[in-house]
A and B are shown apart, each in its own frame.
Chain A
Amino acid sequence: KAVVSTQSTGGVSIFDVSHMLQLLIHGADRISFMESLIVADVAGLAPNTGTLSLLTTDQGGIIDDCIVHNTTDGYLNLVCNAGCADKDLAHIMARLEAAKSSGMDVDVEIKPNHSLIAVQGPMMEKVLQSGVKDDLSVLFFNHTALLDVWGIPCRVTRCGYTGEDGVEISVPSDRTVELVEKLMAASDDVKLAGLGARDSLRLEAGLCLYGNDIDETTTPVEGTLMWTVAKRRRAARDFPGGEEVMRRFKAKEGRRRVGLIVEKAPARPHYPILNTAGDVVGEVTSGSPSPCTGKNIAMGYVDLEYTKNGTPLQVQVRKKIFPATKVAMPFVPTQYYVEKK
């Protein structure tokens, strides 16, 4: 119900994502430092805008996916997955030490005393506007701003993990309950939702779950995430593993992450993907019934020759084999509030 309510029927869902890692990167050299870690064109980010990006290893493998924002408040804002927090911190801090030793003016801190609340769904702007003086209709997708929300000083970023219009609000931890109570009082359509619903929504939106759909054995090439590697960065190959990533990109070999619709039964992680002849050609990495399409959707990796839309495949579900079809993602059209230019 939380999934359908967040989507078509116009509800708003609140997810507590405070377990995620929020980092602030300070210093005059923060942009080049950040570019030494992730694949984004950080220098090209307009003030108070951001993007989904990837931290990569020196072999081009994905350490984590993350959201970076270029704030006008003197720092870059970085949000990383909770499950990778320890790993990401160790990695970033090691690189920071090296950067400082080489004379870079940069520092990194965990954002102190702040929680993170996601507010997602078509009615988000209406609900949130009732607590904010600033005009939210100009806070476009992937834009960020420091706003007083019902008098609580927050960083509000128009992004999320559901494919819907929504925001993630970084709020002082001691006022998180107050914020959520205000949100829920603003409308009957505002409801708390759990991480199960969040997983269904992100899969419908074609968004990766780190650990399932991408990991250190996948580069942006296999992960079908080359769009995160900005044009300038591709040419310069100046991100960790840049040479190897561009080699693979040009080589056109290996497996690719794809979307599938599976007949009859839901596909789940590690179920084999077969071609119509019955040979194993890949593996499912995420799967679930999709409340909004009424179908069983999945993500997985298949050999390059099976990546055309409409390619017939099969998935082994425990002891049985069911037909599947490779389809484009997202499975449900996304509703990001993108600025029309």
Chain B
Amino acid sequence: SWDVSSGINAEYGYYTKSHEWVNVTGSTGRVGITDHAQAALGDIVYVDLPDVDAEFDVGEEVSSVESVKAVGDVALPVSGIVKAVNEELSDTPTLVNQSAEGDGWICEIELSDPSELEDLLDKAAYDEFLDTDTE
């Protein structure tokens, strides 16, 4: 079960260079955008949640996060089927600003191909990527 308040479990947290994360237990993953991404977007006003049971390939847009000034696409870090969405974001999209890597999670998926996790970054590698990324 998830301990949402403690944020991402560094042991199982995987990151993408496009600032998404997936926190995995067995074949289930919880997905969101990183704190870096929410800070770059600014105050979030709307999160486009996917439909439950929708299936996505790795890299496909599963959600979009909209701030006052920009819309950020959320690409699924690994292929999967949506099992749950964070309904709280409908009323309180700013949860993503407050706790992007905790309560501001976007959806939960059943992973179709866990081997795809090997292509992702761990926290240390993602943090290093942030330091060197000139964007």
List chain A positions with a Cβ less than 8 A from chain B: 196, 200, 264-266, 268, 288-289, 296, 317-320
Residue-wise, chain B 22-57 has the 8 Å CB interface mask toward A (1 for contact) of 000000000000000000000001101000000000
Number of B residues near A (Cβ < 8 Å) is 9
A196–B45 alpha-carbon span in the complex (Å): 15
Nearest-CB residue, chain A, relative to B68: A289
A–B Cβ pairs within 8 angstroms, 21 of them: A196-B68, A196-B69, A200-B68, A264-B46, A264-B90, A265-B45, A265-B46, A265-B48, A265-B66, A266-B45, A266-B46, A266-B66, A266-B68, A268-B71, A288-B68, A289-B45, A296-B45, A317-B48, A318-B64, A319-B48, A320-B48
A296–B69 alpha-carbon span in the complex (Å): 13
Minimum CB–CB distance for B57 against chain A, Å: 17
Which of A289, A296, A318 is close to B48, meaning CB atoms less than 8 Å apart?
Answer: A318
Contacts of B45 in A (CB 8 A): 265-266, 289, 296
Nearest-CB residue, chain B, relative to A197: B68
Ordered nearest first, which 5 A-B pairs have the shortest CB separation? Answer: A265-B46, A289-B45, A289-B68, A196-B69, A266-B45
Contacts of A196 in B (CB 8 A): 68-69
List chain B positions with a Cβ less than 8 A from chain A: 45-46, 48, 64, 66, 68-69, 71, 90
A317–B90 alpha-carbon span in the complex (Å): 15
Nearest-CB residue, chain B, relative to A265: B46
A319–B68 alpha-carbon span in the complex (Å): 19
Minimum CB–CB distance for A143 against chain B, Å: 34
Nearest-CB residue, chain B, relative to A291: B68
A130–B130 alpha-carbon span in the complex (Å): 48
Minimum CB–CB distance for B126 against chain A, Å: 28
A323–B66 alpha-carbon span in the complex (Å): 18
Contacts of A265 in B (CB 8 A): 45-46, 48, 66
Minimum CB–CB distance for B74 against chain A, Å: 12
Minimum CB–CB distance for B90 against chain A, Å: 8
Minimum CB–CB distance for B63 against chain A, Å: 11
User: Can you add 14 more A-B contacts, CB < 8 Å, to A317-B48, A320-B48?
Assistant: A196-B68, A196-B69, A264-B46, A264-B90, A265-B45, A265-B46, A265-B66, A266-B45, A266-B46, A266-B68, A289-B45, A289-B68, A296-B45, A318-B64
A265–B66 alpha-carbon span in the complex (Å): 8
Minimum CB–CB distance for A127 against chain B, Å: 27
Minimum CB–CB distance for B55 against chain A, Å: 15
Minimum CB–CB distance for A286 against chain B, Å: 13
A210–B48 alpha-carbon span in the complex (Å): 30
